[in-house]
Structure formats: C-alpha cells, structure tokens
Chains A and B, each alone.
Chain A
C-alpha cells in the first residue's frame, strides 16, 4: 500500500436538508496508519458526514475517494465492500446468536443445499478473534458478553473484510478504563496494519492520547485540521465552539450549611457495601469511579428505587426509611438519572408536561389540571436555566441533548428539593452546553442545595466538586477535598490500587 495516498479522502461534501445546510463544503483526508479524530459539538454535522460516508445519505455535492479512486457509496454494505467499516456507538448485535454467527451475519459460509458450514465459520472466527486477543471464543453467546466484549465482536466483524478505513463513533462511551486500554491496543494494532482510522469522541483526554490529527466541524462547516502533538485542548475547544472554555479546578468557596444528607454503613447486596458519607447544604460532592463501581446504585437506593440490605439514611439528622421514589420526592430528594432519554424524559411529551410531571397531582383546579399554573412553572425554569426551545409545546424528543438535560434539571428544581443527585450530568452533551450545566450545578450549590454529582469524567468531577468520593468495586476507597486531590491519587483510588481504605 502506498503510504502517501490517503486511505480515504472527502472533498467538498455538501448536504442540505429542508431549511438546514447540514454539511457545507467539508473536506478532509485520512492517511493509512493514521488515527484521525473528528470533533465538533452535537449538531456540528459529524453524524451527517458519517452517514454520507456510509451511503445512507447521498451528498448534494462533493466526492468520496478511497485510495484516490472516486467512489459512490450507496449503502453501508456497499461501503463495507469498499473497505470502509463503521463501529457504532450503539451496538447492533443479535444477543441470542453466537459470536461467530454475529460476525458473519448475512454472509455465513455455506455448504450444499444452503446448509451452514459451521466448522469453517467457527475456525475463521477464532482466527480473527486470536488477532484481537480477547478472552472469549467463536461459540460464546453474544448476550453473555460484557459491553466491551460486544464491541470487540463489532470490531471483529469489521476485520472480516480487510478494511482500509474504520470509523469509531464514541467507542468508549460505556467502557471502563481497563476496557478502554484494551480498545486502544486494538486501535494501535489496526494502525500498524496501515488502516486509516476516524475516531469520533467528545473526550479530549482520549483524543490527545491516541490520535495523530484532529479535524473539527462547527455548524456543518469544516474548521480545520490540527496536528495532535502540536496543539492543546484550548485550541481545539476554541475551534469547536468559537470561544475559550473554563475547565479549571473548582476553586469557589462559599458558606456551607448543615448536613442535609448523611448515609451510614449503607449496603445493598453485592452492589455496594458499607458506604458512609455526608453532604452539606451548599456543597457539591462528586462521586468518581469506574462504571460498575456502585455509584449509580447508591443514588438509586437513596431515591427509593432499591431497598438497602443494611445501613441507614439520615435527612437533616433524622433517620428515614425511603421505600419508593414518591417517598424520596416527598422528602425533598431528587435524582437526575444517568440516561436522560431512557430514564429521565418522556420523549413524546412536550417540554411543559415533562417539567411538571412529578407535581402535576398538586396542580389541579377541580378535577382538571390547571394549564396556567403549568405554563407559569415552565416559563420560570425556561428563563432560569436558559432552556432554548421554540415554546412549551415543543416535543422534548426534538431538543438537543443539553436542552433536554436542562428540562430534567428544571423538573427537579421545580420540586424545591433539598438534596439533588445528578448522575452523569453531561453524558453525550456537547462542550458548550457542558460548561453551562457545570456552572448551573455550581450555582445551585451556592444557592444552598446539597448536590451529589456522579461522573465518569475526571475533569468534570474536578471542576464541579467541593469534595470527591472515590469508589472502587462497591466500596468507598477515599475522600478528597478539592484542595488535596491530585489526578494520580484519584486514579489510584478508583483502580483499587491504594489497597487499604485511607481516611
């Protein structure tokens, strides 16, 4: 393969939808053996570009070249045949089938009379799996694999065609750190085989760790390509959002009030054990740890979605038993859940109805819900949180991620909670909205809310928290104040490397 010919080149791609110029003259190229990051806020046009590349959308203008050969993509299958393969964020695997069947789905090796050649199928699959160095084999049922391993199956599927370019779309969204490093090894291996890689991610840390060049899109326009080694986060962010962003350590100091929430020796089966902590009014406590460390489960227990097997929860110094979400809400606890689309919002409903959902019981005039009272609440929180929507009738499913998250937060603020738990406040949200949400969380604490933030992103935890609780495998390993915490000590604590619990 000629190293000076781009594996994949896009030239002047234009795609318009009614009323929107989704892609406006976008050009960039990926060299063989290069990891090329594609960055941009949500709505910048990354997904549209990938759909053009995968043949799902036909571009209005522009060309796609594979090894300098002009190519028209007509479908994802066609793209794959041309050596362009996608590893999607949302995995599309058949749980009940074996790894081998999933990998060769649609192109199972056959014998006469349409019978499947199982021996060949399993042998070929095991050969591919061997190059990936994974701990499962061709006959494993996909449903029994972890998310990370399922992703490996997707990657293995890509390798059945000897790809020229592989596109990873937010591949690390649900991976633990250990799983991430396995993924990065695989990417490095692909790279060494001369495959061009497009890596789409919001996570700066990863981008700077594994990519060679970074191309940035903003509002459907190509904003430039930077060499990773010669740039920094600020420059990239500036290109993405057109301004600089404060992602420094939390340094604000305001008055803290009394302890609003205290948890003593709380356990729940083998999900988490002997967890104790306090949250004061006016304080943000960050919970940091790997996926599966038990952070979300603690939040769910406090919110009454799970029954604890031991321990106690105290609100304002008084022991309480919380048996259901209604109970938790009545006592002033609110939970902004991890997955806003699946757990936080009724996507088919309008903005107003979503915000008033938990309190609509109390907003009746006679037998009917009072429209005026509801609109008043919506207006109040739209202004307070700067929710950008054409009006309260807008269906929530049509809003951007950042505005959706503000709707969820507005919903809970309108209940006037004393304890607000926010699980992964900025997952899947673009950089600009991210900092808005961070400022909002800081403001809420300043107004006297006791806030718990659960996050898997270290910069986020460092940025918003007054105190950080590090968890590993269902236990609290260590608590840090924002002054004493260092990235190294935090990573050690959440990897279980500190061994003993240090107070």
Chain B
C-alpha cells in the first residue's frame, strides 16, 4: 500500500473515529450528568438517532454529489417544504377522492416530481446561463420559499392519513422506515459515485472542468442530472418525514441547506469540488445527530448545541488543513 492510499484511508476513516470519540464521551459524561436514567448507548436510542438523521441525511447525500461536481444547492430547504405541501395537500384533492389509500403512491409521485422539476429548473439555469450555482440556487431558495407561502399563506398545511403514518412508523429488521430510506439512498448514491460513468465524470468535472471538456465530457447534462437528483432527494426527504408528521409549516426546512452542507463538509468533501465521499457524508450526518442528542442527554440546550457544532466544524476544517499542508509551503496569512 503506498502512502497515497494510506492517506486517503486515514482521511475517510477520520469521521468514524470522531463518531467513536463522541460515543465514548457521551456515555461516560452521561453517567455523571445525564438528566435521565437511560444509558446513552441504549440500542433503541441509537435506532432513534438514525431515524432522526434521515431528513437532513438524505439531502446531505445529494448535496455531496452536487458539491463533488463543483456546484452547491442552497434551495433544498425550500424544495423540501414545497414537496411536503404537495404531498399532504394532494391527498385531499377532489379528483383523487375515489382512490382510497391508492392516493398515497400518487401523492408521493407528485411530491417527488415537484422536487425533480425544481431541481431541473436550477440545473437548466446553471447549465444554460453559466451563472454560478451559488447565486442561482440562492435566488431559487428565495423564490421557492415564496411559492411555499403563496400556497397557503402563513397557515400550516395538514392532512393525516393513518395508513401512511403506520407505514412511516413501521420497523423492519429493527430499523425504522426513515432509516431504510437513508441507508438505501446512501447505497444507491455510493454505487453511482464509485461505479458509474456519471459518478466518474462528476468527479472529473469538479476537479478540473476544462480538462473534462477537453476529454469530450459534456459538462451541462451532468450538472442538470445532479440538480434533478438533489431536488428529487429533497422531496424524498419530505415524503419520508411528512408521511409521519402530517402537517407542514411554511417555515419548515429553513436552514436545512446549511445543515446539509455542514454534514457534507464534516465528512471531508471539498467545497471547491472534485473530492468527497458518500460514505463519509453519512458519517458526517450521524456525527452531527450524535452531538445534538448527546448534548441534550447531558442537559445542554439547543443554543449550546449549535454553538458546539459550529466550533467543531471550524476545528475539523482547521485540522484537515494542517494535515494536508505539505511542508511549510502553504501561505501564511
């Protein structure tokens, strides 16, 4: 094994080592500080953690691909909310009244289609205008959120379908439905990024766009596919979450884009593209959720949680930079 491979392995393993440290810390600290008698590493507690990771996790996995490709998508939170509204509202539409529970797959399809179309709009604009994805999706973030408010004003959109709730709360082989969606998404995207032509080309474009063009790769279609993919996943995330909760507020999903990006970056994916891993993002997602739950377990409030996560994110990136510096060649600033 050469040193290159070893370095890559260490980097991809780092996030899992971090998770192990978190587990150990919260288990021990929990003995003294816990507000409940329940142990932190309790099996049911861990299963719940995975389930709670799912909404942002599914989006973060999609964000990984978009970021490897050299873009970013800030509109996922708004897409998530809009897909949720379409999901819940369409179940009450008169034209579907005769379908009974068959309305569920129809509503799911409509919600997923909504996400995919919104993603396609982002992708087409980035492709055809050449405007930076950050700006395009910043605009889309505001615009799509506007659509959410146009739909029902400040009112929540609610509809509970008990068959759907039963499905969403079900456990198969111990894991919750949402967890299965998270793991399934991770598996599919991992295969896409490591084994398919699309994945290979996405890395190449993110790492050196000009060289990719010179190798005959059409950059635009890859952008489009990835934006459609993340739109679809934002909607899938909404489908998974709102099947259970049954009520969406117009402000739901705000800051999801930033949490997703935090998880992706914590997993080691580079902001400028060309480098990153789906599995490591899954680690990043779990690490954040562990921090939230663990700090809650030892009695810290939400504001403390956010402060700690923010500090850890910066510390991790600083460490990453230290480890990646070769000699002292990096600029001192």
Contacts and interface: CB of A to CB of B under 8 A. Distances in A.
Where chain B touches its partner, the secondary structure class is helix
A268 interface: no
A86 B186 CA distance: 50
Interface in B93-146: none
Interface string B189-224: 001000111001101100110111111111000000
Contacts of B328: 56-57
A143 B207 CA distance: 26
Contact of B195 (A349, A368, A393): A368
Contacts of A394: 2, 4
A343 B207 contact: no
Interface string A339-352: 00011111111000
Contact of A358 (B4, B195, B215): B215
B327 A57 contact: yes
A51 to B, nearest CB: 8
Contacts, number: 85
A353 B200 contact: yes
A347 B206 CA distance: 11
A395 B4 contact: yes
A367 B275 CA distance: 22
B322 interface: no
A353 B328 CA distance: 30
What band does the interface of chain B fall in when counting residues whose beta carbon is under 8 Å from A?
A: 20 to 34
Contact of B215 (A368, A390, A411): A411
B207 A349 contact: yes
B201 A360 contact: yes
A344 B218 contact: no
Nearest to B201: A360
A329 B215 CA distance: 8
Nearest to B212: A346
A123 interface: no
Interface in A268-317: 303, 305
B155 interface: no
A181 interface: no
A343 B196 CA distance: 23
Contacts of B212: 346, 357
A19 B75 CA distance: 48
Interface in B286-333: 327-329
Contacts of A393: 2, 4-5
Interface in A405-430: 411
Contacts of B2: 390-391, 393-394
Contact of A346 (B191, B197, B211): B211
A398 interface: yes
A348 B211 CA distance: 12
Interface string A353-368: 1000110110010011
Contacts of A325: 213-216
Contacts of B191: 367-368
A17 to B, nearest CB: 7
B231 interface: no
A158 interface: no
A345 B327 contact: no
B209 to A, nearest CB: 9
B62 interface: no
Interface string A313-328: 0000000000011101
Contacts of B210: 342-343
B57 interface: no
B101 to A, nearest CB: 33
B284 interface: no
Interface in B1-41: 2, 4-5
A335 interface: yes
Contacts of B5: 393
A337 interface: yes
**Residue of B191, B218, B327 most packed against chain A (CB within 10 A):** B327
Q: Which A-B residue pairs are the 5 nearest by beta carbons?
A: A368-B195, A326-B216, A348-B207, A329-B216, A358-B215
26 contacts: A17-B327, A57-B328, A303-B214, A325-B215, A325-B216, A329-B216, A342-B208, A342-B210, A343-B214, A344-B211, A344-B214, A345-B208, A346-B208, A346-B274, A348-B208, A348-B275, A349-B203, A349-B207, A353-B200, A357-B200, A357-B211, A360-B197, A360-B200, A367-B191, A393-B5, A398-B4
